[in-house]
Structure 1
Amino acid sequence: MTQIAVLGSTNMDLVAYVERAPQLGETVTGREFRTVPGGKGANQAIAAARAGATVSMIGAVGHDAYGVRMRETLEHSGVDTDSLRTIDCPSGTAHIVVDDEGGNAIVVIPGANGTVDHLAPGDEGVIASADTLLLQLEIPLPAVVAGAEAARRHGVRTILTPSPTRTLPSELLDNIDLLVANEREAAALADRADPRDAAADLLGLVPQVVVTLGAAGSLYLTRDAAPLVIPAPRVTAVDSTGAGDTFVGALAVALAEEKPIREALSWAAAAAALAVQREGASTSMPYRPEIEAQYTA
C-alpha cells in the first residue's frame, strides 16, 4: 500500500459561521460555532489516509483536551500517530470565520507546533519508509528544511504547500519535487498577479508546480511538457476550509499510485469538490469510495 509521511501542524479549528465576515472594528452575529480538529499537516494526513494511503503523522500536540481530541481524530481516520509527540504547552489553534459564500479567513496560533523545529529521533526513519513526504509551513522552517533534506537523501518524493506564505530558502526549494499553491500563495511567492505567470516563475525554483484556482480547477506546469488546465467539478460550496489540504492529500495518493498527472489532478479535484460541500476541515474530507464515485460521475 502507498506510504505517506506528513511533517506538519495539528490545530484545533475554532470555527464561527456568519452571513458575512466582519470588517475591521465591526461586530457581527454568527449563526453557529464549532470546534473541529485541523491544522494543515493533520488535514493532509487525514485526507491521504481516507483516500487510501498508509499515513504517518510527524508533529506535536499540547498536553490538553485539544491535543487528546486531535490525536483521537487522526487515529480514527487511520493515521499512525507514533511520531506525534505530546508537549507540555497548549495545542495549536486556528480561529476561522466562514461566511455564507463558503469563503473563510483564518488566524493560526502555533502553540505546540512551534516546538517542532527539528527532526526528533526516529523521524527520519519514518520519512525514509514513505513514498511521499507532505510539507507545509505551519511549523518552524528549520524542521521543514530538515524534512525535505531527509526525503531527498532517501529518494522520497516531496510535496510542499507554501502556507502560510513566506520567503522560501534555496535549501528548501532545492529539495522539493512539487509545489502546490493556491492563487494567492502563488501570486505572493512570485510577485505576479496572473496565475499562469506566477506558476511559470515558480517553475524556475522547483521541477513541478500546481496552482489551484478554486472553482476554475487547477493549473499544472512542468519543465518538460505543455501546461495543463484541469477543470473542477461544478458544485455548490458550503465551506472551503480544508479543501486545499484535501486536494493535496488526494493528489499525493494518486501520484504515489502512479496515476497519469491529468488523472491524478482530476481525482484530487473530485476529492476537493466533495469537501467544499460539507462544513469543517477534517470532518469534510471524503473517503476513497466517495472520491471514486465523484470522479466517475
Structure 2
Amino acid sequence: MASTTQVTIVGSSNVDITALMNRLPGPGETVLADSYRLTPGGKGANQALAAALAGARTEFIGAVGNDPHAEIALGQLAEAGVALDRVKHIEGATGVAIISVDAKAENSIAVISGANSSMEAAAVTAAGALEGVLVLQGEIPESGIRAAIDAATGPIVLNLAPVIDLDRDYLCRANPLVVNEHEAALILAQLEGSKELSTDPEPVIAQRLCDEGIASVVITLGGEGALVAVRGTDGAAEITTLPAVKVTAVDTTGAGDAFTGALAARLAAGETLIEAAGFAGRFAALTVQEHGAQASYPRSLNNL
C-alpha cells in the first residue's frame, strides 16, 4: 500500500529492446542472440516504479512520443499507481534503449533519447512545483535538470547517470548524490577541473566529493554493496560501508535504478540515509535475479 510520502521523479522513459546472448560482441563483431524482448525502461521511469513499489506516493514527469512504444513505456507505472498527469505526449518517437545481456549478466546499453530530449528547461518549468523528494538522472537535457532543481520543494536525490556536465552549484544541491564508482570518479574530475580520473579507493573519492561541497554521497559498488558518506560540520565525511546481499545475478539491467528509487522512497518516509541505503540494497538485490528492468522489480516487500 502506498504511503502519504511523496517522491517526484523527473526523467526519462524508454522502451528497452533487450537481446540475450552468450557473450557480448567485440568491436565490428556479430554475435547471434538467443532471444529478445520489448519492455518498459528508462532511468526515470525505472526509478519511479521502484519508488512506488517501495511504498512511496510517486509521480513521474517526463515525455513519450505518439508511437506504439508510448503505451509500453508507461504501462507498468500506471499499473503501480504512479501519477502520470504531467507526462508530455509529443509528436515523434518514444525513447528507446538497445540492451545486450550476456550469460554472466553483464550488459551494454545504447540509448536513443527520442521524446526525452524535449525535457528541457521550458518543459520542466511548465510542470510547476516539484513536491517531496525529487529524483533526477542524466538522461534528460542539462537545462531540464537545472530547472527541476530550481523547482524542488524538498531534498534532491541526484543520480547523475550518465554523467553529463552540470554546474557546480547544481551538483552541490544534491543530498544525496547517488552514483556508481566510475560515475563518482567522473563527477570528481568535473568538480576539480581535472582531465584525469582518480584511482583513489571509493572512500577517498567520497571524501573528496564532500570536500567539493556535496553534502552526502552514496556510491553503489555492485556485488560489493554500497558506501554512504555524510559530510559533517567540520567538513570530514562520516563513511559507512554497507555489505551486498549475496545473490546469483541473472541480469543487472535496471538494478541501479531500483536502488535509487527505493532509496528515495525510504528517505521520503523519514529514514536516515544509511537506513534507506540498506533497504535499497536489499530491494535491488531482488531485481538482479530476474531478466529485465521493471519486470524484475519486487511487487511485494514481504522478503525485505
TM class by smaller structure:
over 0.9
**Match among 18, 27, 30 for residue 24 of structure 1:** 27
Shift of 1:72: 2.3
**Which whole-Å CA distance do the structure 2 matches of 1:71 and 1:246 have between them?**
16
Q: C-alpha offsets along residues 102-138 of structure 1, whole Å, 9 cap, x if unaligned?
A: 111111100000011025465223x1xx220000010
Q: C-alpha offsets along residues 206-259 of structure 1, whole Å, 9 cap, x if unaligned?
A: 100000000110001111152000011100000000000000111111111122
Amino acid paired to 2:86: S
Higher mean C-alpha displacement, 271-280 vs 222-231: 222-231
Shift of 1:71: 2.2
Shift of 1:196: 2.0
**Match among 254, 258, 268 for residue 270 of structure 2:** 258
CA contact (8 A) 1:232 1:266 kept: no
3-state SS in 2 of match to 1:82: coil
CA contact (8 A) 1:52 1:288 kept: no
State the number of aligned residues.
286
Q: Residues 263 and 288 of structure 1: is their aligned pair in 2 closer, same or farther, counting only changes over 3 Å? A: farther
**Which whole-Å CA distance do the structure 2 matches of 1:183 and 1:24 have between them?**
25
CA contact (8 A) 1:44 1:245 kept: yes
The answer to whether residue 249 in structure 2 is matched with residue 241 in structure 1 is no
**Which whole-Å CA distance do the structure 2 matches of 1:23 and 1:188 have between them?**
24
2:149 corresponds in structure 1 to 148
**Match among 271, 274, 277 for residue 289 of structure 2:** 277
CA contact (8 A) 2:56 2:268 kept: no
Higher mean C-alpha displacement, 60-69 vs 218-227: 218-227
**Which whole-Å CA distance do the structure 2 matches of 1:19 and 1:220 have between them?**
35
2:176 corresponds in structure 1 to 178
2:8 corresponds in structure 1 to 5
1:38 corresponds in structure 2 to 41
Amino acid paired to 1:213: L
**Which whole-Å CA distance do the structure 2 matches of 1:103 and 1:205 have between them?**
34
CA contact (8 A) 2:56 2:269 kept: no
Shift of 1:144: 0.4
Shift of 1:184: 1.4
What RMSD in Å do the two structures reach over aligned CA positions? 1.4
3-state SS in 2 of match to 1:30: coil
Structure 2, unaligned stretches of length 5 or more? 189-196
**Match among 164, 167, 174 for residue 166 of structure 1:** 164
Shift of 1:160: 0.6
Higher mean C-alpha displacement, 42-51 vs 193-202: 193-202
Shift of 1:172: 1.7
CA contact (8 A) 2:39 2:72 kept: no
Q: C-alpha offsets along residues 160-196 of structure 1, whole Å, 9 cap, x if unaligned?
A: 1111112321242143221000111112222222322
Q: Residues 284 and 29 of structure 1: is their aligned pair in 2 closer, same or farther, counting only changes over 3 Å? A: same
**Which whole-Å CA distance do the structure 2 matches of 1:261 and 1:72 have between them?**
30
Shift of 1:76: 0.8
Alignment of 1:35-114 (within 5 A): 35-114=38-117
CA contact (8 A) 1:17 1:32 kept: yes
Q: C-alpha offsets along residues 79-101 of structure 1, whole Å, 9 cap, x if unaligned?
A: 11101110101010001111111
Amino acid paired to 1:281: A
**Which whole-Å CA distance do the structure 2 matches of 1:108 and 1:9 have between them?**
11
Structure 1, unaligned stretches of length 5 or more? none
Aligned-pair identity in percent equals 40
3-state SS in 2 of match to 1:268: helix
3-state SS in 2 of match to 1:250: helix
1:230 corresponds in structure 2 to 242
**Match among 196, 201, 204 for residue 197 of structure 1:** 204
TM-score by length of 1: 0.93
**Which whole-Å CA distance do the structure 1 matches of 2:273 and 2:146 have between them?**
26
Q: C-alpha offsets along residues 21-42 of structure 1, whole Å, 9 cap, x if unaligned?
A: 0000111111110111000000
**Which whole-Å CA distance do the structure 1 matches of 2:299 and 2:177 have between them?**
24
3-state SS in 2 of match to 1:64: coil
Shift of 1:288: 4.5
TM-score by length of 2: 0.90
